[in-house]
Amino acid sequence: AVDLLGIQPDVGCFAKLLTAGIVPLSLTLATEEVFDAFKGDSKALALLHGHSYTAHPVGCAAANYALGHLRDSPAAKGHAAGDRASAASE
């Protein structure tokens, strides 16, 4: 969607995609600007959220395997090589 629309989202929420929905795990990615808005020494200023599956060990292991497989795939290597070639030509 980012490539299709040509925009960068401020926040992205992902679930099931890292573990194929077999074990619970989700993540939220945010720009540095959004992340910094919730940082602070006080719990009153921070965004605190948790749930019963936070850092679920089986979910983390499954996601780690999936990310390693994706990173090592021919498609990912071709995309990364394309990124480096584009950056070098700029």
Q: Is 54 exposed, middle or buried (0-12, 13-18, 19+ CB in 10 A)?
A: exposed
Alpha-carbon torsion (65, 67, 73, 77), positive or negative? negative
SS3 per-residue string spanning 11-38: EEEEECCCCCCCCCCEEEEECHHHHHHC
Question: Rounded to two decimals, what is the model's pTM?
Answer: 0.58
Alpha-carbon torsion (32, 37, 42, 48), positive or negative? negative
What is the CB neighbour count within 10 angstroms for residue 19? 20
Q: pLDDT tens digit string along 15-40?
A: 888 888 888 888 888 999 998 888 87
Q: pLDDT tens digit string along 41-88?
A: 787 777 777 666 677 888 889 888 888 888 888 877 776 555 545 555
**Residues in contact with 85: Cβ distance below 8 Å, sequence separation at least 6, in sequence order:** none
